[in-house]
Amino acid sequence: MTNKVLISDKISQAAIDIFKNRGVEVDYKPGMTKDELIACIGEYAGLAIRSATKVDKDVLAAATNLKVIGRAGIGVDNVDIPEATKRGVIVENTPFGNAITTAEHAIALLFAAARQIGAADVSTQAGKWEKNRFNGVELYAKTLGLIGCGNIGSIVADRALGLKMKVVAYDPFLSPERAIELGVEKVELEELFKRADAITMHVPLTDKTRNILSRENIAKLKKGVLIVNCARGGLVDETALAEALKSGHVAGAAFDVFVTEPAKENVLFGCPNFTATPHLGASTTEAQENVALQVAEQIADYLTTGAVTNSLNTPSITAEEAPKLKPWVALATKLGAFAGQVVDKDLEAVEIEYEGDVTGLKTAPLSSAIIAEVLRPMMSDINMVAAPAILKERGTSLLEAKRETSPIYDSLVRVKVKTEGKWRTIAGTIVGGQPKVVEVKSMDLEAQFHPHMLFINNTDKPGFIGALGSLLGEAGINIATFHLGREGEGQDAIALLGIDADVPADVLAKLKALPQVRYAKVLKF
């Protein structure tokens, strides 16, 4: 299956040329029906969309070879991200290509609300010349409250500061250092409600942000406040805002987004000093071209180099990071597979430790690979993209730790799994470019991975190795590699064998019956 890409929404020729110039085969088929999309999507590894294409469960079920979906724009309401995640499909957006355009539109709507531009325009063009009716307010020296201060919010803050406004921001992810850098004051939501003369919204629609300006919270706002929403419909209780506009508690509002779109009817339409635009936040020539080019670059990067950019459901990896991470992902996959196969009952907890130079790499993809393999014996269709979310859904605790130094190796990755109240531990590193096991149950050894391996936990007593060799020899099972570790003479010990064939159940039963054996498991890689 080739890395072919389908473009199912209108996009510029320049974006199409990016794929072709990168050696990626591309089909441009905008305007397809859902049935047409389902009929052909199985051919493609990549899908480039805008807002028209709806990538729901039906489409994803048919997308048997799909690896990546790229949305030319910020919002991905038209993609079923949880379903894509379950199927191992990376979902990317382009959050920077239209950030300036959307921020400028928010500032434009802020002026519209402050100076009643929409109503004044309608009145003037009707020949009324109601000069005394439209008495606005200055933005100078007023306090702007930002709900959300990320990519777009920070640009709005910069523009507002240029207008000599004071800016306060509510954003749980905004660090104090970043707030100082932007020149804004970080505040809690209740404080913003008390102080803001105008409010602009710059957050996604989630369970936590839905109706963040609820009826109750609108009542807490200063009388005469202005409200602008260029982010997502549903952040404001539209009915409560309509009542507040009619009562005069809110002096003006300007919305580019609505709960139901297209918004042919809305409770806010016709309210005093309400301005509406039809979701134009990203609608400039520059922004539409920028996001189209960006999404083409991102999809092409992933399919040709493995780089992941602006992903919404898996860690991002740059083109420079991808080759450096490749051997470590291979190691993580094998360590996770080892750990997953020695979880004989319920998986109670997972711990992942990184030591040494590997801590300087992006470890999130490594953790995703480990978790996927740990879960694989329980769910064969698991993948790196879905694994962290599924582990969380299962209620299994995950702890990750990093130490900048490693006592023996330049780098070490250690995986611990808890089952039946007991921890089982495996650690490895890269030696000569190859993944190797260097520690099991805190006992040192150095063993290469083999397609079939026999893992034995035994007591260190004479006669065990001879009995083991004889048993496997009688069964016609050749030993390719043999590695031992122990706590001390006569104490707990391990044996890790690379073998050239699987171990039949009856032979494994005889092995487990040896007096020195505490645990035995055939591992496959």
Contacts from 273-279 at CB under 8 Å and sequence distance 24+? 273/113, 273/116, 273/119, 273/245, 274/118, 274/245, 275/109, 275/112, 275/113, 275/117, 275/118, 275/119, 276/118, 277/105, 277/109
Please state which CATH number belongs to domain 99-276: 3.40.50.720
Answer yes or no: 178 catalytic.
no
Answer yes or no: 249 catalytic.
no
- pLDDT given at position 22: 93
- Residue ranges of the chain assigned to CATH 3.30.70.260: 450-525
Residue 9, classed as helix, strand or coil, is coil
Q: Which of 22, 71, 105, 232 is catalytic?
A: 232
Answer yes or no: 265 catalytic.
no
CATH 3.30.70.260, domain 450-525, yes or no: yes
- Count other Cβ atoms within 10 Å, centred on residue 346: 12
Q: Which of 36, 130, 138, 261 is catalytic?
A: 261
Please state which CATH number belongs to domain 5-94+287-305: 3.40.50.720
CATH 3.30.1330.90, domain 320-448, yes or no: yes
- Count other Cβ atoms within 10 Å, centred on residue 171: 21
DSSP state of 235: S
- Residue ranges of the chain assigned to CATH 3.30.1330.90: 320-448
Q: Which of 279, 376, 414, 424 is catalytic?
A: 279
- pLDDT given at position 385: 79
- Whether this prediction's pTM lies above 0.85 is answered by no
- Residue ranges of the chain assigned to CATH 3.40.50.720: 5-94+287-305, 99-276
Per-residue pLDDT of the chain (525 residues; tens, 9 = 90+): 578 999 999 998 999 999 999 999 999 999 999 999 999 999 999 999 998 999 999 999 999 999 999 999 877 889 999 899 888 899 999 877 788 999 999 999 999 999 999 999 999 999 999 998 999 999 999 999 999 998 899 999 999 999 999 999 999 888 889 999 999 999 999 999 999 999 999 998 888 899 999 999 999 999 999 999 999 999 999 999 999 999 999 999 999 999 999 999 999 999 999 999 999 988 888 888 888 999 999 999 999 988 888 888 887 787 788 888 889 999 999 999 999 999 988 899 999 999 999 999 999 999 999 998 999 888 766 777 778 888 888 889 999 999 999 999 999 999 999 998 999 999 999 998 899 999 999 899 999 999 999 999 999 999 999 999 999 999 999 999 999 999 888 899 999 999 999 999 999 999 999 999 999 999 999
- pLDDT given at position 1: 53
Rounded distance between C-alpha atoms, residue 76 and residue 90, angstroms: 12
